[in-house]
Structure 1
Amino acid sequence: MAPARGLGSASATLFSIISLVKAGSLKDIDHVVLFMQENRAFDHYFGTMAGVRGFSDANLQMNDGVPVWKQITDSSLTTAADYVNPWYINYLGGNWTEATQCMLTGTNSWYENHAAWNDGTNDHWAVDNSPYSIGFYKQQDIPIQWALADNFVVGDMYQEGVVAATNPNRVTWLSGSINAPGGPQTPSEGGNPYIDNNITPGCESGGFNCYPLKWKTVGEFYEDAGTTWQVFQDADNFDDNSYARFEQFQNAAPGSSLYSRGMKGLTLDTFYAQAANGTLPEVSYIVAPMELSEHPPYSPPRRRLAAVPGGPGRAQLAQVQQDGPHCLLRRDGRLVRPRRPVPLAKRHGRRMDPGPLRPGRLHLHRPGLPAALLHRLAVDAQRRRLHRAQRPQLANHVCREVAGRKGAQRHDRPDGAVAPQPHV
């Protein structure tokens, strides 16, 4: 089937695929596929969707009579307004979606996100993280995500496991814990708690963020129960397979079950093939490559949907591919957009060829948004660096936004496993 373009055709094609699969109860489910994407809030994607607890939430949190949508500003942002409301990212129309594909955002570290949470008032996202934190897309910007949400269950009150960065949340996903004090694990098992993207052996000052992690994971419980499971990932996995955070997987012998299923994994092409012929394990984990992770600046707009036919009685696949300019960060930290596709080896290696690249720029001229607030978008990265400098006990291992993106390269081990590297 030819790729379907546009909201209506994409939604119709996706619905025709998923409607082929019917189940009467949980007993009819043979395969569970787990797939986690990166750093996107519910309202950022689905805040304008009807019938969910989004921007029209009838039970909206109020802070002394002020709706939580009104995010506090300060004099470093603007003196023209006390609050900034959620704002539509692609307000300029036209080809603005191509610009916002390269959009940089705030950080997701423990410190900044807890400061934004502000002891439960949840109203410091503009001042303690970034005004981009409350920007949002509409249906026409992300039709594939909306088509999936329209045809499946939407978790509009689903919360991240930890108000923190990638690694603690993925570790929670794979083990149900970050080893917070008072839990079933002991301090000797790592973490205590594990709250940031630390992958340096040892603990932070104060005895937390201890690495590697050593407590029992979900995969090991599957082993005990005789449940088949498998991680599917390519060499570029954006360092998002957090089974690699655990010592027992790091030390697993090549050919062992933990090594083959959880550390090395099988390729995404193998997943597509097994899904098509009905041979997937009972539980599958998909770990996406960097550019398909949806982690800023790898944004979701301008996708195309292709239907991949399967055999009789087998579920078909919906394969989503990026359709638009790639967005990269050079080693010097400059945001760039290639004039022609850059080979994967050059994208992820130290010797990225700067020849076909040119600086990418975002010009914000949103009517009604104070100029000082817009200026803040350009300087808040420096402000975050100052925050980190004031926190020496966490400075080495939290908020690796710049370092992770500038050093986005793969370090593939000779034995075929993917060695870890940091990112936010």
Structure 2
Amino acid sequence: MSRSMSRRLSLAALCATAAITSASAAEVETATPIKHVVVIFQENISFDHYFGTYPKAENKAGEPAFTAKPGTPSVNGLSHVLLTANPNGVNPMRIDRSEPITCDMDHDYGPEQQAYDGGLVDKFVQYAGATKPGCDPKQVMGYYDGNTVTALWNYAQRFAMSDNSFNTQFGPSTPGVLNLFAGTTRNAVGGDVPGLVRDGWIISDADPQLDGCSGGKNLLLIKNTRHVGDLLDDKDVTWGWFQGGYKPTEVRPDGSIVCASATKNAAGKAIRDYSPHHNPLAYYEQNANPKHLPPTSVAMIGKSDQAKHQYDLSDFWAAVDAGAMPAVSFLKAPAAQDGHAAYSGPLDEQKFLVETVNRLEQRPEWKETAIVIAYDDSDGWYDHVMPPIVRASTFPEDALSGNGRCGSTTAIAGGPCGYGPRLPLLVLSPYAKRNFVSSALTDQTSITRFIEDNWHLGRLGAGSMDQYAGPIDDLFDFSATPDPSPIVLDPETGLIKG
């Protein structure tokens, strides 16, 4: 046999193997008609901060007007009493569209508990209010309405949302995204760091050790912990974490990398796109990709290769445009558009959400897709609903039920206290119920549970909170005829086009 013929046969064999692998992945049965889940995981919003007065907006002159459809259900929001005689001593105040960037509130593990004051929910100004120079702690009581978060209110009109969904535990971004992926923040390596790691559990923010763009000290690593991506790999289901700014802007001569791309926010300030402590996979040893190596090809996006399932947002769209959208995709906006107070806000976030949703709705995959819009934590913003404490804790940082205590002995023991604050949760899909508000109890790991159930993955076990999560099935109606017609919004105003 000639060398050239041998090469052709080898290439044919490789192509055949790739085709078989691809077919095998495509044939994975789902429990529902949903074949693609896109989780858009945003930053730092309590439910009342965005939906406290839903569906009634003030409709001031010069602002995008919002008028609810007839029959729109009410939500567990801010009542007349809460708006006019609030127990916090400061009444909630509407933040105008002209103030799209606010101060960052205190949303750490202990202060959040103190704000709820054993269930009285009356200490937000004292413990969760912003205290940096130039900030007013009373602003923690602020909320936006449908004249500013117009797109989200319009999505709620067209699709389904929950008014009873919670952070899996108290605390900021890193615990939130780790719970989304693994239902746990345990097995952090490096010893206890007060206020950051307690008994191996992560309760606050620190950059991941396995990320070449991390900075600072107390970099964290998680060992011996499986997450939902591992379960997806077990079943050959394609998936990935896609984050703005993940692609390095520079590779230095010594091999180190720089992630310096930036986007201007509504205030005109350039904000670095990539935030390492928002990337869950960079903490897990099985997903180590410290140099942010790209996928070996567009065809490998969502599959196991040197990228270790960590990608730039541009890789998501490359896969989508190639007709190879992963079955499960987690999207993280560039920081300027993730909604986080101090450097982003609702108008920046709206631009990212609308452009993403508009584009996905035009795809042939839309007819079998579910977009989940969720948040990593509350930023400390006031929310009037006391979270149900399903997991008690006696860490030194705990404070809800007294010094060093959170919850009763009847709750699940072991790990940080939770549930934490109430957060927005929306599902956009041809199979989503229309103009529907669910009050079924859910948390961040309910999203994990839906993925597990839809692809028959089983539970993570080993103490993961997915085993206790309420399902998000109430947001869907799989018995009705799906409606794939898109709702196309203007990314600047959030209003329906046409």
Place the TM-score, normalised by the shorter chain, in its bin: 0.5 to 0.7
Contact in 2 for aligned 1:276/1:310 (Cα 8 Å): no
Runs of 4+ in 1 over 6 A off after TM superposition: 66-69, 185-190, 309-312
- Per the TM alignment, residue 251 of structure 1 is displaced from its structure 2 partner at its CA by 6.3
Cα–Cα, structure 1 residues 237 and 151, in superposed 2: closer, same or farther, change >3 Å? farther
Whether 1:222 and 2:232 are equivalent positions in the alignment is: yes
SS at match of 1:140: coil
- Per the TM alignment, residue 152 of structure 1 is displaced from its structure 2 partner at its CA by 2.2
Q: For the residues of structure 2 that align with 1:84 and 1:311, how far apart are their CA atoms?
A: 45
- Per the TM alignment, residue 197 of structure 1 is displaced from its structure 2 partner at its CA by 0.8
Tell me the alpha carbon deviations over residues 86-140 of structure 1, each in whole angstroms, 9 at most, x when there is no partner. 11112xxxxxx23x22211312111221211222222211111112222111111
Q: For the residues of structure 1 that align with 2:363 and 2:34, how far apart are their CA atoms?
A: 18
Cα–Cα, structure 1 residues 26 and 138, in superposed 2: closer, same or farther, change >3 Å? farther
Q: For the residues of structure 2 that align with 1:309 and 1:158, how far apart are their CA atoms?
A: 25
- Per the TM alignment, residue 221 of structure 1 is displaced from its structure 2 partner at its CA by 1.4
Tell me the alpha carbon deviations over residues 387-419 of structure 1, each in whole angstroms, 9 at most, x when there is no partner. xxxxxxxxxxxxxxxxxxxxxxxxxxxxxxxxx
> How large is the Cα RMSD of the aligned pairs?
3.6
Percent of aligned pairs with the same amino acid: 24
- Per the TM alignment, residue 268 of structure 1 is displaced from its structure 2 partner at its CA by 2.1
2:281 to 243, 263, 268: 243
Cα–Cα, structure 1 residues 300 and 187, in superposed 2: closer, same or farther, change >3 Å? closer
Tell me the alpha carbon deviations over residues 179-223 of structure 1, each in whole angstroms, 9 at most, x when there is no partner. 2xxxxx69899952210113477xxxxxxx993111112111111
What 5-or-longer segments of structure 2 have no aligned partner?
Answer: 1-29, 56-73, 130-137, 210-217, 246-272, 297-302, 370-498
1:77-116 matched pairs, under 5 angstroms: 83-90=89-96, 97-98=97-98, 100-116=99-115
- Per the TM alignment, residue 288 of structure 1 is displaced from its structure 2 partner at its CA by 1.1
Contact in 1 for aligned 2:178/2:184 (Cα 8 Å): yes
What's 1:34 paired with?
39
What 5-or-longer segments of structure 1 have no aligned partner?
Answer: 1-24, 61-65, 73-82, 91-96, 180-184, 202-208, 318-424
1:147 to 149, 154, 160: 154
Contact in 1 for aligned 2:168/2:176 (Cα 8 Å): yes
Whether 1:299 and 2:345 are equivalent positions in the alignment is: yes
- Per the TM alignment, residue 314 of structure 1 is displaced from its structure 2 partner at its CA by 4.7
1:211 to 220, 244, 262: 220
Contact in 1 for aligned 2:189/2:221 (Cα 8 Å): no
- Count of residue correspondences: 256
1:52-91 matched pairs, under 5 angstroms: 52-56=75-79, 70-72=86-88, 83-90=89-96
- Per the TM alignment, residue 29 of structure 1 is displaced from its structure 2 partner at its CA by 1.0
Cα–Cα, structure 1 residues 164 and 309, in superposed 2: closer, same or farther, change >3 Å? closer
2:366 to 315, 328, 333: 315
What's 1:173 paired with?
180
Q: For the residues of structure 2 that align with 1:120 and 1:310, how far apart are their CA atoms?
A: 42
Contact in 2 for aligned 1:69/1:86 (Cα 8 Å): no
Q: Which amino acid aligns with 1:250?
A: A
Cα–Cα, structure 1 residues 311 and 285, in superposed 2: closer, same or farther, change >3 Å? closer
- Per the TM alignment, residue 312 of structure 1 is displaced from its structure 2 partner at its CA by 7.9
Whether 1:43 and 2:43 are equivalent positions in the alignment is: no
Tell me the alpha carbon deviations over residues 298-332 of structure 1, each in whole angstroms, 9 at most, x when there is no partner. 11137565644987845399xxxxxxxxxxxxxxx
Q: For the residues of structure 2 that align with 1:30 and 1:70, how far apart are their CA atoms?
A: 45
Cα–Cα, structure 1 residues 309 and 259, in superposed 2: closer, same or farther, change >3 Å? closer
TM-score (norm. length: structure 2):
0.45
Q: For the residues of structure 1 that align with 2:188 and 2:36, how far apart are their CA atoms?
A: 34
Q: For the residues of structure 2 that align with 1:242 and 1:132, how far apart are their CA atoms?
A: 30
Contact in 1 for aligned 2:190/2:220 (Cα 8 Å): no
Q: For the residues of structure 1 that align with 2:128 and 2:339, how far apart are their CA atoms?
A: 19
Contact in 2 for aligned 1:238/1:288 (Cα 8 Å): no
2:324 to 279, 301, 307: 279
Contact in 2 for aligned 1:89/1:137 (Cα 8 Å): yes
Cα–Cα, structure 1 residues 105 and 233, in superposed 2: closer, same or farther, change >3 Å? closer
Q: Which amino acid aligns with 2:165?
A: Y
1:197 to 177, 200, 205: 205
SS at match of 1:36: strand
Between the two structures, name the one with larger relative contact order (CA 8 Å, sep ≥ 6). 2
- Per the TM alignment, residue 230 of structure 1 is displaced from its structure 2 partner at its CA by 1.3
Whether 1:134 and 2:179 are equivalent positions in the alignment is: no
Q: Which amino acid aligns with 1:243?
A: L
Whether 1:125 and 2:141 are equivalent positions in the alignment is: no
Q: For the residues of structure 2 that align with 1:222 and 1:68, how far apart are their CA atoms?
A: 49
- Per the TM alignment, residue 270 of structure 1 is displaced from its structure 2 partner at its CA by 3.4
- Per the TM alignment, residue 232 of structure 1 is displaced from its structure 2 partner at its CA by 1.6
Q: Which amino acid aligns with 1:211?
A: L
Q: For the residues of structure 2 that align with 1:218 and 1:312, how far apart are their CA atoms?
A: 26
SS at match of 2:232: helix
Whether 1:162 and 2:169 are equivalent positions in the alignment is: yes
What's 2:433 paired with?
none
Q: For the residues of structure 2 that align with 1:226 and 1:189, how far apart are their CA atoms?
A: 35
- Per the TM alignment, residue 46 of structure 1 is displaced from its structure 2 partner at its CA by 0.6
Contact in 1 for aligned 2:289/2:307 (Cα 8 Å): no
